[in-house]
Amino acid sequence: MRRIGLKFIGRNRTNVNPEAMTRSAKLTNSDGSVLDPIVAIRRRVTLAPDESVVVDLVIGVCETRDAAIAMIDKYDDRHLADRVFDMAWTHGQVVLRQLNATEADAQLYGRLASSWFTRRHHVERHRDSRQESAWPVRLMGHGISGDLPIVLLRISNPEKIELVRQLIQHTPSGD
């Protein structure tokens, strides 16, 4: 377990019950160059029986501290924040319609992309420099430039053939 993860999760703990979420734990406000960074913000909320609360967490980046404070002040207005979330949802629906994709498609593509990025990171960390220079030559021998990402989809269960249709349907033409 890496340094930051160890501080947050704790010894003999898991993601389900991290040490940082116990009453006695203190977040360390530390940072560093790690492969698995985390951001942890803890806020205690005490609710009476049958009481509910809505918590919105908006994460962003600004060029300066003043710009960040201005952004916080802007979206501190509950009605404006609700409007922004509604507009973002509407924009997402328009994009899905333009791609002829469903919400389920979008979730599937998100999982596939996550898997691809995770594996790519693993491969890049363990790639031998000789292999790195050899793979483009191997691809060119098959008429493939390798300039664009390549997806290999292997279906071992015929019931999953729908994945092939989805992949082909949402691949830009000519790629």
pLDDT tens digits along 24-35? 777 777 766 666
Cβ-contact 81, 75 below 8 angstroms: yes
Which conformational region is residue 143 in: left (phi greater than 0), alpha (psi within -120 to 50 degrees), or beta? Answer: left
CA-closest candidate to residue 166, choices 118, 115, 120, 110: 110
- pLDDT, averaged across the chain: 77
Q: What is the pLDDT of residue 63?
A: 93
Q: Which tokens go with 96? A: 């899905």
Q: pLDDT band for position 117 (50/70/90)?
A: low
Q: Distances from the Cα of 65 to the Cαs of 29, 30, 42, 62, 70, in angstroms?
A: 18, 19, 21, 7, 9
User: pTM above the 0.85 mark?
Assistant: no
- Using CA atoms, how far apart are residues 116 and 103, in angstroms rounded to an integer? 20
The values of phi and psi at residue 111, to 5°, are -65, -40
Axis crossing angle, helix 103-126 with helix 162-169, rounded to the nearest 10: 90
| pLDDT tens digits for range 128-172 | 555 555 666 777 777 777 676 677 777 788 887 877 777 777 665
